[in-house]
Amino acid sequence: MSDTPTLCCKEAHLMIDALQYPFMQRALVVGVCLGALASYYGAFVVQRRMSFLGVGLSHAAFGGIALGLLLGIEPFWVAVPFTVGVGWAIAWISDHGPLTSDTAIGILFAVAIALGVVLLSYRQQYTADAFTYLFGSILAVEAFDVGVLLALVVGTAALAPLWPRWAYATFDRTLARADGVPVQRDDLMLITCIAITVVAAVKLVGAILVTAFLVVPAATARLHARSFRTMTLGAMGVGTTTAVAGLFASFYLDWPSGAAIILMQALVFSLALAVSYR
Amino acid sequence: MAQAPVIQVNRLSVDRGRRRVIDHVTFNVEAAAFVAVVGPNGAGKTTLLHTLLGLVEPSDGTVRVLGHPPGRDAPRIGYVPQVKTLDRTFPAEVIDLVCSGLTHAWPFWRTQSATEQARAALQTVGAADLATALLSDLSGGELQRVYLARCLVHEPELLLLDEPATGVDATGAADLYELLDRYQADHDATIVMVTHDWNAAYHHATDVLLLDGRCISYGPPQKALGADPLREAFGHVGHAHAMLQGGPPHD
């Protein structure tokens, strides 16, 4: 019994220790912002059965980042238009013609990653960077990334009035269109927001793992939500808390940050699943 | 001056890919009419409704709804889609769906007045007890009533209904048509209803549009659902026509 307060104090000290490192402060700000943003958009991704879109966009982001590294430009500025372009191409192919979106994604994400690998083969010295972008690193987060994430949070908050329209089209596109909602334009807006969030996530989480940020918190919230509103808010709650827990695990256990956060998400998802089947 | 028709369709053709789904269809729907659209599978009934809603572009011809090109007057129109297209995995309570008919978007928060209006609409369709039920838990018939409440909640002047009685038992269907008749009488509303139920068309509609890609017949039920047009649309008439003659048409 007498050990408990001592243990708590020790844990608190450890947390304060971690917070003294500027890289950890940056990682926490980025992690919390990403947890909230990706989960917010993740509610739409999960409910629209677009999980594979996250895979497609994150791999496209990798291709764009490789291009940025090769050109010597900040990868973010190359990856954003590249990833948004791939997202729009996926939407266009699935809207016009006989191919479904999963086929369009299957084609474009493989092409993007192949392009990234070919581009990186020209500049051997960047392979270490490429590894960071594939699996994510807590140390890679810079002040620039913090700025990007904070700007994205402000942008998403400004676009909050789109939630009711996106949610309506998620429920039933035909009904939303019949009610005058510009569904196709809104879809492009949503894909753009998701694409930018994915690019912003790649440094911390890694291109391979970023899909989990879009899918796992929203899937966890879906298990117990009675409304799309509670699913969205629940996903954001799960996304932010698992980001914080995962980053501390990453700091103390020396795990890769993206993997640590995703294992936390998986733990919460498993608990939610166990409770829902009880 | 006579009131302009609520719906004016002039030589409308709609193509889906290389297939012509609707071929030079012309008809007008007058204010306060109850038009039943009947025809075999693939006759273009739902496509016609989607064209009136502005969801499908005409390949040829002109369409005017409430005096404007389609898609301009969503708040004045109530639409009941085919329930079989519903995504049952979407997390929502019935009251949220009904409120979406008021806000023309999915409600994040429900205002007190929207909630009260939605509850009143559910009461009208006899589904007051379903307000807090999850959509995923509803039967087909219950869902139809909820969709009807959603359609009526903003008191539209034009109702476009796509097989609103699918999955509803015979008593429920009779209640539904009675409800539509009552709403129409109370609000001077105009109704266009796609249906496979010839009996409902015969006994509740003021006019019937018999469609098979092209317009086979359009007019009062007795004339439009005569043996010749039915044979032309369906190939044979069978027992259904005898059944139709069992009672008087719309009075």
Residue ranges of domains in chain A, CATH in brackets: 33-276 (1.10.3470.10)
Q: Is it the case that residue B248 has pLDDT exceeding 70? A: no
Cβ–Cβ contact B84 with A under 8 A: no
Cβ–Cβ contact B133 with A under 8 A: no
DSSP string spanning B160-186? EEESTTTT--HHHHHHHHHHHHHHHHH
Q: Is residue B35 part of a domain?
A: yes
Task: Return the pLDDT at B107.
Answer: 94
Interface of B with A in 89-108 (CB under 8 A): 89-93, 96-97, 100, 103-108
Residues of A in contact with B96 (CB under 8 A): 227-228
Residues of A in contact with B93 (CB under 8 A): 226-227
For residue B239, the distance in angstroms to the closest alpha carbon of chain A comes to 36
Residue found under tokens 């966890």: A220
Residues of A with CB under 8 A from a CB of B: 47, 163-165, 167-168, 170-172, 174-181, 222, 225-231
Quick one: pLDDT band at residue B193, thresholds 50, 70, 90?
very high
Count other C-beta atoms under 10 Å from residue B18's C-beta: 5
Task: Return the pLDDT at A71.
Answer: 85
Task: Return the pLDDT at A1.
Answer: 42
For residue A91, the distance in angstroms to the closest alpha carbon of chain B comes to 18
**How crowded is the C-beta side of A16, counted as CA atoms within 13 Å?**
6
Q: At what angle do helices A22-47 and A3-19 cross, to 10 degrees?
A: 90
CB-based contacts of B86, cutoff 8 Å, min separation 6: A172, B135, B143
Quick one: pLDDT band at residue B174, thresholds 50, 70, 90?
confident
User: Helices in A122-162 by DSSP H: which ranges?
Assistant: 127-135, 143-158
Residues of B in contact with A177 (CB under 8 A): 53-55
Burial pattern B61-91, b for ≥16 Cβ within 10 A else e, equals bebbbbeeebbebbeebbbbbbbeebeeebb
In chain B, whose CA is at the least distance from the CA of A44? B90
- Does B91 sit within 8 Å of A230, measured CB to CB? yes
Looking only at the bridges linking them, the beta strands covering B19-29 and B7-16 are antiparallel
For residue A200, the distance in angstroms to the closest alpha carbon of chain B comes to 27
- Does B90 sit within 8 Å of A174, measured CB to CB? no
Residues of B in contact with A50 (CB under 8 A): none
For residue A39, the distance in angstroms to the closest alpha carbon of chain B comes to 16
Q: Is it the case that residue B176 has pLDDT exceeding 80? A: yes
Cβ–Cβ contact B147 with A under 8 A: no
Quick one: pLDDT band at residue B10, thresholds 50, 70, 90?
very high
- pLDDT tens for A74-121 read 889 999 999 999 999 998 988 887 888 889 898 888 888 888 888 878
In chain B, whose CA is at the least distance from the CA of A224? B91
Q: Is it the case that residue B245 has pLDDT exceeding 60? A: no
Cβ–Cβ contact B18 with A under 8 A: no
Question: Which structural domain range is residue B47 located in?
Answer: 7-244
Q: Is it the case that residue B235 has pLDDT exceeding 80? A: no
Q: Is residue B32 part of a domain?
A: yes
- Does A227 sit within 8 Å of B92, measured CB to CB? yes
**Closest to A164 (Cβ–Cβ): which among B75, B92, B105?**
B105
* Distances in whole angstroms, Cα of residue A189 to Cα of each of A112, A195, B54: 21, 10, 22
CB-CB contact of A238 with A67 (8 Å): no
Which tokens belong to B224?
């439009």
Look up the pTM and report it. Answer: 0.89
> Helix or strand or coil: residue B210?
strand
Task: Return the pLDDT at A3.
Answer: 46
* Domain count of the fold of chain B: 1
- Does A165 sit within 8 Å of B91, measured CB to CB? no
Q: Which residue has the higher pLDDT, B122 or A109?
A: B122
Q: What is the CATH number of the domain that holds B40?
A: 3.40.50.300
Per-residue pLDDT of chain A in tens (278 residues, 90 and over written 9): 444 445 556 666 777 777 888 888 999 999 999 999 999 999 999 999 988 888 899 989 988 888 888 888 888 999 999 999 999 999 898 888 788 888 989 888 888 888 888 887 887 665 666 677 887 777 788 899 999 999 999 999 999 999 999 999 999 999 999 999 999 999 999 999 999 999 999 888 888 889 999 999 999 999 999 999 999 999 999 999 999 999 999 888 988 888 899 999 999 999 999 998 87
Q: Is it the case that residue B114 has pLDDT exceeding 70? A: yes
Across the range B109-131, mean pLDDT stands at 93
**Dihedrals φ, ψ of B233, to 5°?**
-80, -45
DSSP string spanning B73-119? -GGGEEEE--GGG--TTS--BHHHHHHHHHHSS--SS--HHHHHHHH
Mutation target for B interface from A175, A223, A231, A276: give the one with most B CBs within 10 A: A175
Residue found under tokens 């009208």: B124
Residues of B in contact with A181 (CB under 8 A): 104-105
For residue B105, the distance in angstroms to the closest alpha carbon of chain A comes to 5
Q: Is residue B251 part of a domain?
A: no
The rounded distance, in Å, linking the Cα atoms of A124 and B64 is 64
Across the range B178-193, mean pLDDT stands at 92
Residues of A in contact with B68 (CB under 8 A): none
- Does A175 sit within 8 Å of B90, measured CB to CB? no
- Does A167 sit within 8 Å of B106, measured CB to CB? yes
Task: Return the pLDDT at A277.
Answer: 81
Across the range B60-65, mean pLDDT stands at 95
- Does B74 sit within 8 Å of A178, measured CB to CB? yes
Q: Is residue B59 part of a domain?
A: yes
Q: Is residue B110 part of a domain?
A: yes
Across the range B137-160, mean pLDDT stands at 92
- Does A168 sit within 8 Å of B106, measured CB to CB? yes
Cβ–Cβ contact B219 with A under 8 A: no
Cβ–Cβ contact B109 with A under 8 A: yes
